[in-house]
């Protein structure tokens, strides 16, 4: 191993890769070579750093300098200044919104400062494709402990005492589930890692696999020790090629080292893992559908009980956990249940990974202790709402989560608190919405997704969501009627009560929560035929304010319908019969003269 003096930890998560991080890598290596620094400065491709909005990003070790928006053109200057002359380059550093001075060090940037990494403990610190780097940071030592110093019963007890709950949505206590599988009768038992991650906009699980695949493998081998399972499956969606590739590589390396396969570490445990790719249907993430899909059957949920713990893959006792749940396991075994239980709230221990997206400055992936408030996530970590707009709501838990209003921003996040306000933890999606978001349209949008993703087995879910979506669409088109709100509420109860799985069980959340907190918006749509946020096309008109219009012709030139007329330097007019409400004029106008009502 060369004695590099500096490591450039360049992010190779999916977000940064699509913004060109491999091109940046080539440029870096080229310039490093040019200055003869190839034996001093090494480039390490890491998993997702989390600050995806600023990508491609890199962290320089040991100085801890954080660089963002790297492009090939920046590299010659960067290499000469920072890596040859030791002068960090300010113009590539992060500048907080509404401030002027850059923040050089990663730990001083608000986005990173409030995070606590357990599941993502190795993110950005290792090359995920090198098993030795995982081992160097304590990897597989928890497995050694579980195999040589603990009985299966003690491993289960440790996980139980830690208070770890499933990170895939339902929040079931992980230790209890392991206990059930360990106690179930059967000569063959299975483990499953649920990496289906069907929530649109969520990428927690993908990032964990991309940045630290061995943490999941180690968690599963410990699970095998605890439950007596002899084989594990990772069920991963087909749209995750990079995560899939890293997983294949990690499994091969673990096998070579004898950390998977027969007689693991010479301690007598036999356990291997294979990968199964799913086609990416939302319902495939539901455990009974997933098992059906794994066996080659149609992915439809079935009645529980029997639970997978008794009757799972190929009819055998099966323990299924989410990616993030598995990734927590080695740390709990290493540091102890007490340590883990000391983080979080009364009912929810440890941390949770969220993908923060939507109308927020710092979109990306964050891991925070349970009990952190929504305000801290949206404003301290997320950096607040762009363009000085007002915060309106945050939706947690994916498409079937509820929308939580500004009045509840101080809510500490845990499984129970989120349920109390009509939302769910889900798997950790978090969508921030600003004042320009129409909440009726939001409900319509998520129901459209859920309507398409319903597998159709249960009538209430298949037909109920469709009818609810139809009503919402009607309201958005200006054809809402008195009684629609009540009808939506009634249908919600029916869908929740008569669906086998939580797809139907939670689908009404976006509707119920928006009615609860934003009823006035529904009423404006229905009674006054107005969309207060100016989103629903049928309910808005674009006009030009003759006072503000300078007659610059920019809107007229951009209008795809030629609906705008007027002489240069004279106020323009929009022909309402031709206007298709695309909003191009609104975006084009430099004088805020285009009005939406």
Partner 1 sequence: MSKIKPQDLEKIRVRMARTMSLRDGDAQAKITVHMGTCGIAAGARKIMSALLAIVEEKDTKDIVVTTSGCAGLCSREPMMTVELKGQAPVKYIELDEEKTKKIFSDHVLSGKVVKEYALAIGSERVG
Ligand X SMILES: Cc1cc2nc3c(=O)[nH]c(=O)nc-3n(C[C@H](O)[C@H](O)[C@H](O)COP(=O)(O)O)c2cc1C
Q: Characterize the bridge pairing of strands 573-574 and 564-565.
A: antiparallel
When asked if residue 283 is in the footprint of ligand X (CB under 6 A), the reply is yes
Range in contact with partner 1 (rule: CB under 8 A) among 112-120, 164-172, 207-215, 259-267: 259-267
Report which of 554, 111, 176 is spatially closest to residue 362, judged by C-alpha positions: 111
Cα separation of 499 and 450, whole Å? 13
Residue 120 binds to partner 1 (criterion: CB under 8 A)? no
Q: Which is nearer to ligand X, 55 or 219 (CB)?
A: 219
Nearer to partner 1, 42 or 344 (CB): 42
Under the binding rule (CB under 8 A), the answer on residue 92 touching partner 1 is no
Residue 197 is a binding residue for ligand X (CB under 6 A): yes
How far, in Å, CA of 194 to CA of 299, rounded? 14
Q: Which residues fall within 8 angstroms of residue 86, CB to CB, at 6 or more apart? A: none
3-state secondary structure of 204: helix
For residues 597 and 593, give the distance between their C-alpha atoms in angstroms, rounded to a whole number. Answer: 13
172 binds ligand X (CB under 6 A): yes
User: Which residues inside 181-220 make contact with partner 1, applying CB under 8 A?
Assistant: none
Name the minimum Å distance from CB 76 to ligand X.
43
Largest CA distance in the chain: 86
Residue 195 CA to residue 240 CA, distance in Å, equals 10
What's the closest the beta carbon of residue 119 comes to ligand X, in angstroms?
Answer: 12
Identify which of residues 197 and 441 has a Cβ nearer to ligand X in the complex. 197
> From CA 436, how far away is CA 453, in angstroms rounded?
27
- Applying the rule CB under 6 A, the residues between 92 and 151 that interact with ligand X are none
Binding of partner 1 by 89 (CB under 8 A): no
Residue 4 touches partner 1, criterion: CB under 8 A: yes
Buried b (16+ CB within 10 A) or exposed e, 219-241: bbbbbbbbbbbbbbbbbbbeebe
Question: What is the β-pairing status of strands 429-434 and 542-544?
Answer: unpaired
> Residues 242-281, buried b or exposed e (16+ Cβ, 10 A)?
bbbebbeebbebbeeeebbbeebeeeebebbbeebbbeeb
Tell which one of 209, 259, 430, 440 touches partner 1 (CB under 8 A): 259
State the binding partner of 87 from partner 1, ligand X, none, CB within 5 to 8 A by kind: partner 1
Q: Which helix (H) or strand (E) holds 42?
A: strand 41-46
When the beta carbons of 399 and 405 are compared against ligand X, the nearer one is 399
Q: Is 90 in the site for partner 1 (CB under 8 A)?
A: no
Decide which of ligand X, partner 1, none touches 285; Cβ closer than 5 to 8 Å per partner kind: ligand X
Q: How far is the CB of 283 from ligand X (least distance, A)?
A: 5
Does residue 414 bind ligand X (CB under 6 A)? no
The answer to the question of residue 86 lying near partner 1 (CB under 8 A) is yes
With CB under 5 to 8 Å by kind, the binding choice for 22 among partner 1, ligand X, none is none
Q: Does 249 bind partner 1 (CB under 8 A)?
A: no
Residue from 503, 556, 574, 589 binding ligand X (CB under 6 A): 503
Using CB distances below 5 to 8 A depending on partner kind, what does residue 21 bind out of partner 1, ligand X, none? none
Of 20, 38, 76, 84, the one binding partner 1 by CB under 8 A: 84
Closest separation between CB of residue 28 and ligand X, Å?
A: 36
User: If binding is defined by CB under 8 A, does position 118 make contact with partner 1?
Assistant: no
Of the pair 117, 191, the CB lying nearest ligand X is at 191
44-63 binders of partner 1 (CB under 8 A): 61-63
Mask: binding to partner 1, 27-46, rule CB under 8 A, as x and -?
---------x--xx------
DSSP string, 240-269: -HHHHHHHHHHHHHHHHTTSSEEEETTTTE
By CB under 8 A, name the one of 114, 116, 137, 188 that touches partner 1. 137
**296 scored as a contact of partner 1 (CB under 8 A):** no
Torsion of CA 554, 557, 560, 562, to 10 degrees: 110
Secondary structure of residue 222 in the 3-state scheme = helix
Site for ligand X in 219-238 (CB under 6 A): none
Of residues 75 and 526, the one with the C-beta less far from partner 1: 75
CB of 249 to ligand X, least distance (A): 22
My answer on whether omega of the bond before 306 falls inside 30° of 0, hence cis, is yes
Contact assessment for residue 495 and residue 466, using Cβ atoms and an 8 Å cutoff: no
Torsional class of 138: left (φ above 0), alpha (ψ -120 to 50), beta (otherwise): left
Quote the least distance from Cβ 136 to partner 1, whole Å: 4
Type and span of the H or E element at 215 = helix 213-227
C-alpha angle 298-302-306 in degrees, rounded to nearest 5: 130
Residue 133 binds to partner 1 (criterion: CB under 8 A): yes
Binding partner at 169 among partner 1, ligand X, none, C-beta below 5 to 8 Å by kind: ligand X
Q: Name which of 434, 445, 348 is nearest 398 in CA terms.
A: 445
Contact with ligand X (CB under 6 A) among 128, 163, 168, 405: 168
Asked whether the beta carbons of 206 and 8 are under 8 A apart, the reply is: no
Residue labelled with tokens 């113009």: 91
* Minimum gap (Å) between residue 125 Cβ and partner 1: 6
Q: Which of 78, 147, 491, 501 binds partner 1 (CB under 8 A)?
A: 147
CA 363/CA 361 separation, integer angstroms: 6
Asked if 268 is part of the footprint of partner 1 (rule: CB under 8 A), the reply reads no
Nearest alpha carbon to residue 515 among 393, 366, 352? 393
Residue 494, classed as helix, strand or coil, is helix
By CB under 6 A, residue 196 contacts ligand X: yes
Q: Is 287 in the site for ligand X (CB under 6 A)?
A: yes
- CA distances for 390 relative to 15, 53, 208, 386, 596, angstroms: 27, 20, 32, 9, 18
Among positions 148, 298, 388, 590, the unique one binding partner 1 when judged by CB under 8 A: 148
Of 125 and 294, nearer to partner 1 (C-beta) is 125
Interface contacts to ligand X, rule CB under 6 A: 166-170, 172, 194, 196-198, 282-283, 285-287, 320-322, 325, 427, 501-503
The residues of the shown chain that bind partner 1, judged by CB under 8 A, are: 1-7, 9, 36, 39-40, 61-64, 83-87, 125, 132-133, 135-138, 140-141, 144, 147-148, 253, 256-259, 265-267
């Amino acid at each position: 191993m060369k004695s590099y003096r500096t490591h450039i930890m360049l992010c190779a998560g999916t977000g940064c890769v699509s913004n060109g991080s491999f091109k940046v890598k080539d440029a870096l290596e080229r310039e490093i070579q040019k200055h003869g620094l190839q034996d001093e400065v090494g480039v390490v491709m890491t998993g997702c750093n989390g600050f995806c909005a600023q990508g491609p990003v890199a962290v320089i070790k040991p100085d801890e300098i954080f660089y963002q928006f790297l492009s090939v053109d920046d590299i010659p200057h960067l290499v000469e200044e920072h890596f040859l002359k030791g002068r960090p380059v300010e113009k590539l550093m992060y500048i907080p919104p509404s401030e002027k001075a850059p923040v050089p060090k990663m730990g001083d940037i608000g986005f990173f400062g409030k995070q606590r990494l357990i599941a993502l403990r190795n993110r950005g610190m290792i090359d995920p494709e090198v098993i030795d780097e995982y081992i160097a940071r304590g990897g597989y030592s928890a497995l050694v402990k579980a195999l040589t110093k603990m009985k299966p019963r003690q491993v289960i007890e440790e996980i139980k005492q830690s208070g770890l709950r499933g990170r895939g949505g339902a929040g079931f206590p992980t230790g209890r589930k392991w206990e059930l599988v360990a106690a179930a009768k059967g000569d063959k038992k299975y483990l499953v890692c649920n990496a289906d991650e069907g929530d649109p906009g969520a990428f927690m699980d993908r990032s964990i696999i991309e940045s630290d695949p061995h943490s999941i493998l180690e968690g599963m081998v410990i699970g095998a020790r605890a439950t007596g399972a002899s084989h594990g499956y990772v069920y991963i969606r087909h749209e995750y090629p990079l995560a899939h590739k890293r997983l294949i590589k990690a499994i091969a390396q673990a096998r070579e080292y004898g950390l998977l396969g027969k007689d693991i570490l010479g301690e007598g445990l036999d356990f291997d893992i294979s990968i199964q790719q799913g086609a990416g249907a939302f319902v495939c993430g539901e455990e009974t559908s997933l098992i059906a899909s794994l066996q080659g059957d149609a992915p439809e949920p079935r009645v529980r009980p029997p639970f997978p713990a008794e009757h799972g893959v190929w009819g055998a006792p099966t323990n299924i956990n989410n990616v993030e749940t598995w990734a927590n396991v080695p740390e709990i075994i290493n540091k102890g249940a007490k340590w883990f239980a000391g983080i979080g709230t009364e009912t929810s221990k440890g941390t949770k990974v969220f993908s923060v997206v939507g109308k927020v400055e710092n979109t990306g992936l964050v891991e925070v202790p349970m009990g952190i408030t929504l305000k801290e996530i949206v404003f301290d970590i997320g950096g607040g709402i762009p363009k000085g707009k007002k915060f309106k709501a945050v939706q947690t838990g994916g498409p079937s989560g509820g929308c939580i209003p500004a009045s509840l921003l101080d809510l500490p996040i845990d499984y129970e608190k989120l349920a109390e306000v009509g939302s769910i933890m889900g798997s950790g999606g978090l969508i921030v919405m600003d004042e320009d978001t129409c909440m009726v349209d939001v409900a319509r949008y998520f129901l459209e997704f859920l309507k398409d993703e319903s597998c159709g087995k249960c009538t209430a879910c298949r037909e109920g969501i469709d009818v609810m979506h139809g009503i919402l669409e009607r309201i958005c088109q200006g054809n809402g009627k008195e009684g629609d709100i009540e009808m939506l509420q009634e249908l919600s109860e029916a869908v929740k009560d008569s669906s086998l799985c939580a797809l139907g069980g939670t689908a009404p959340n976006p509707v119920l929560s928006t009615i609860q907190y934003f009823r006035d918006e529904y009423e404006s749509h229905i009674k006054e035929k107005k969309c207060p946020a100016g989103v629903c096309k049928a309910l808005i008109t674009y006009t030009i304010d003759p006072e503000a219009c300078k007659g610059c012709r920019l809107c007229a030139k951009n209008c795809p319908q030629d609906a705008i007329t007027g002489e240069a330097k004279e106020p323009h007019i929009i022909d309402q019969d031709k206007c298709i409400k695309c909003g191009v004029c609104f975006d084009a106008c430099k004088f805020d003269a285009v009005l939406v009502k």
